[in-house]
């Protein structure tokens, strides 16, 4: 599930395995050098190799870790010849002495290699690393573990059923051998060679699927398991992903209900959006929009295109922040905000590396796992032509018995989304797996989970791995505990999350095997939505004057529009990979990131048609901090001004404070943070 499978626990003290004691103070010296941020992670004199268990590891290039590989049979039964080299990175504990344990993290996708996400995992594990080693493995078919490279699937503009099938055909007998089950066995084999007997597992998104499979197949190795953005291995109605639509509707309705300007409107968010769905359904049209990188996208604006905006959650924050207001603007004749979101989503939902590098993300591996492991709505044992007929029969029956499965969209509108988001059709022409490795049998239907401490972290607004999915996983473990992070999205313990709460709970759980105090999970601030999109500044609510203000009510509307312009640009930052972008109605922005902050430079950016904003915005990299903006505004009619704006992030009810001049008059005002 490239989109879903798109987003752990502690363990008991054990004696160090053979080879671990070779580290001593050398590990402390080398890896504290890395932690201090030196450009060269390896100081002179650092040993070139390290024996851990029975494997000799070598220093990784450009990474303060030791790299290793294990040669594994492609087919554990031996029926299909061939070998695959499984790559891994080993990070020894930072302090001298015996290791308390080993932390293992698994990446999502499927298709992403874990080692490409090392920075995020090391950030999560940093407080635990003094006495714990860390292991990251690239699953077979990803990264440096023989990345599957189906060229056309990797580079084509659109992922089609035919390209998917061609990839499977090109893999031949190997197609069934990229299963999560065999990747889990690879990890177990590496741990055995390293002499590691018990591990604490952390997985995000598809990594949670991998780790459930690992726990079922190798329960004796697992001390604890943390599943961040989890979904189950099977369950009733599983192939139709029935929790998606309720979670998607809840996401928008909850966000609207907790944002006063939206909450005071008649109806809930889905009722605000419904007229647009009906219009796009009856009158689709050829459209253009500018994505987060400033690139023009050409597409058909129809109900399916809106479905991928609402289901795809890419860019996550921008879509949740803006869909309601963009839909209301669309109904009022202003189509630009919604078309921009559609263009941004086209860019955001494509997991593939822009250069087509399969080692960064393997579309072929994603297809192989998706078509081998989870159950489908059709019988994967059937030949292609018969399988297509079986699919059509299943879809027709679903339309008859449960037409609202993906409401407010129809089943066909849902199927119009990209194959790796709708899932239903992508494997319909995939080659039949051999009887020795049947599809959809990664675990038995009545599988029993091991009795290990299990923490399931779920975002309240996550419609990719839903609260219901997380609850099902928690129920599968005898001692499973689900923690629901309020006002949060997919994957909540890694650095991109809306708060540090998920990470704090995960670390405590790994150390103590207890969830502990979870009060922070309910304290994550609600989303700040766009109150409305405006063509003219006069349509914006005026900022509130403070003592010393000389600006009148009309000028205070210009000031509010300037602040909204800054907020609109910041909402584009997460989806931007080019360093440049364009304003909603004109102008450009440029951004530069460093470890502490993002600086955005605006040049004549227009959020409304009658106000151009230039200047700079500095946003801290941390979740909590103050945004500072220095803005030069030029309003229609020649009104000029210079404003300094500041507001806190990571707090509920954030207020932007504004001071400066507009039209030669002193400005002292405040307005809700954008």
Average pLDDT over all residues of the chain: 92
Does residue 445 register a pLDDT over 90? no
Average pLDDT over residues 323-331: 98
The pLDDT of residue 13: 24
User: Residue 660: helix, strand or coil by DSSP?
Assistant: strand
Average pLDDT over residues 194-212: 97
Average pLDDT over residues 610-623: 95
**How far, in Å, CA of 287 to CA of 580, rounded?**
22
For residues 252 and 3, which has the higher predicted lDDT (pLDDT)? 252
The pLDDT of residue 40: 60
Does residue 31 register a pLDDT over 60? no
What's 401's DSSP letter? H
* Residue 594 pLDDT level (bands cut at 50, 70, 90): confident
Does residue 339 register a pLDDT over 60? yes
Average pLDDT over residues 130-143: 98
Does residue 142 register a pLDDT over 50? yes
Average pLDDT over residues 418-436: 95
User: What single string gives the DSSP state of each residue in 264-289?
Assistant: TSSS-HHHHHHHHHHHHHHS-EEEEE
In three-state form (DSSP H/G/I as H, E/B as E, the rest C), the secondary structure along 39-77 is: CCCCCCCCCCEEEECCEEEEECCCCCCEEEEEEEECCCC
Does residue 223 register a pLDDT over 70? yes
* DSSP H or E segment with residue 202: strand 199-204
Alpha carbons within 13 angstroms on the beta-carbon side of residue 430 total: 35
Does residue 126 register a pLDDT over 90? yes
pLDDT, tens digit, for every residue of 152-185? 999 999 899 999 999 999 999 999 999 999 999 9
Does residue 437 register a pLDDT over 80? yes
Other C-beta atoms lying within 10 Å of the C-beta of residue 390: 18
**How far, in Å, CA of 108 to CA of 1, rounded?**
9
Average pLDDT over residues 54-69: 95
pLDDT, tens digit, for every residue of 558-577? 999 999 999 999 999 989 99
Does residue 279 register a pLDDT over 60? yes
Other C-beta atoms lying within 10 Å of the C-beta of residue 284: 14
**How far, in Å, CA of 32 to CA of 95, rounded?**
9
* Residue 210 pLDDT level (bands cut at 50, 70, 90): very high
Domain boundaries, the chain: 537-672
Closest CA to 479 of 451, 457, 449: 451
pLDDT, tens digit, for every residue of 349-395? 999 988 999 999 999 999 999 999 999 999 999 999 999 999 999 99
Radius of gyration of the chain from Cα atoms? Answer: 26
The pLDDT of residue 236: 86
User: What single string gives the DSSP state of each residue in 553-621?
Assistant: HHHHHHHHHHHHHHHHHHHHHTT--SSEEE-TTS-EEEEEE-SSEEEEEEEEE-SSTTEEEEEEEEEES
Percentage, residues of the chain above pLDDT 90: 88
Does residue 209 register a pLDDT over 60? yes
Does residue 43 register a pLDDT over 60? yes
């Amino acid at each position: 599930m490239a989109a879903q499978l798109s987003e752990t626990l502690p363990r008991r003290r054990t004696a160090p395995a053979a080879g671990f004691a070779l580290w001593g103070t050398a590990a402390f010296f080398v890896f504290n050098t890395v932690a201090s941020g030196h450009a060269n992670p390896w100081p002179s004199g650092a040993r070139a190799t390290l024996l851990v268990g029975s494997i000799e590891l070598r220093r990784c290039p450009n990474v303060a870790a030791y790299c290793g590989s294990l040669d594994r049979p492609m087919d554990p039964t031996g029926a299909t010849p061939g070998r695959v080299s499984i790559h891994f990175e080993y990070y020894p504990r930072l302090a001298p002495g015996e290791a308390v344990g080993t932390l293992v993290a698994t990446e999502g996708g499927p298709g992403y290699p874990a080692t490409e996400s090392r920075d995020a995992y090391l950030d999560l594990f940093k407080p635990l690393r003094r006495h714990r080693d860390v292991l990251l493995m690239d699953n077979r078919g990803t990264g440096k573990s023989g990345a599957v490279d189906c060229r056309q699937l990797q580079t084509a503009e659109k992922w089609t059923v035919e390209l998917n099938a061609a990839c499977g055909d090109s893999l031949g007998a190997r197609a069934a051998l990229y299963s999560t089950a065999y990747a889990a066995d690879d990890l177990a084999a590496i741990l055995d060679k390293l002499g590691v007997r018990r591990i604490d597992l952390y997985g995000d998104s598809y990594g949670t699927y991998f780790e459930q499979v690992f726990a079922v197949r190798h329960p004796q190795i697992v001390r604890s398991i943390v599943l961040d953005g989890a979904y189950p291995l099977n369950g009733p109605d599983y192939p139709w992903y029935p929790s998606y639509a309720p979670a998607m509707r809840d996401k928008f309705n909850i966000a609207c209900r907790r944002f006063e300007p939206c909450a005071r409107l008649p109806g809930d968010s889905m009722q605000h959006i419904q007229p647009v769905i009906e219009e796009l359904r009856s009158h689709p049209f050829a459209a253009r929009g500018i994505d987060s990188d400033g690139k023009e996208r050409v597409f058909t604006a129809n109900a399916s295109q809106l479905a991928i905006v609402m289901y795809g959650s890419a860019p996550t924050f921008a879509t949740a922040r803006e869909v309601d207001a963009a839909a209301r603007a669309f109904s009022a004749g202003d189509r630009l905000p919604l078309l921009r979101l559609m263009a941004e989503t086209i860019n955001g939902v494509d997991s593939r590396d822009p250069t087509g590098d399969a080692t960064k993300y393997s579309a072929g591996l994603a297809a192989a796992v998706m078509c081998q492991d989870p159950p489908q709505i059709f019988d994967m044992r059937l030949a292609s032509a018969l399988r297509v007929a079986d699919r059509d029969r299943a879809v027709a029956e679903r339309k008859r018995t449960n037409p609202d499965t993906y409401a407010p969209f129809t089943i066909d509108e849902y199927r119009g989304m990209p194959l790796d988001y709708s899932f239903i059709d992508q494997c319909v022409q995939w080659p039949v797996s051999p009887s020795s490795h049947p599809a959809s049998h990664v675990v038995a239907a009545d599988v029993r989970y091991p009795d290990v401490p299990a923490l399931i972290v779920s975002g309240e607004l996550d419609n990719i791995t839903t609260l219901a999915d997380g609850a099902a996983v928690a129920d599968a473990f005898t001692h499973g505990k689900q923690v629901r992070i309020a006002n949060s999205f997919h994957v909540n313990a890694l650095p991109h999350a809306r708060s540090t709460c998920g990470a704090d709970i995960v670390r405590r759980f790994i150390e103590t095997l207890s969830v502990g105090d979870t009060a922070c999970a309910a304290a994550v601030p609600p989303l700040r939505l766009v109150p409305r999109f405006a063509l003219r500044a006069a349509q914006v609510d005026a900022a509130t004057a403070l003592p010393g203000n000389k600006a009148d009510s009309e000028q205070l509307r210009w000031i509010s529009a300037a602040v909204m312009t800054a907020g609109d640009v910041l909402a584009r930052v997460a989806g931007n990979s080019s360093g440049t972008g364009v304003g909603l109605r004109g102008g450009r922005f440029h951004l530069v990131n460093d470890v502490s902050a993002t600086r955005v430079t605006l040049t004549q950016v227009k959020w409304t048609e009658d106000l151009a904003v230039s200047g700079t915005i500095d946003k801290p990299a941390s979740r909590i901090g103050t945004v500072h903006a220095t803005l030069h505004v030029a309003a229609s009619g020649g009104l000029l001004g210079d404003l300094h704006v500041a507001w806190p992030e990571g707090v509920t009810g954030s207020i932007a404070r504004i001071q400066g001049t507009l039209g030669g008059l002193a400005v002292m005002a405040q307005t809700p943070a954008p």
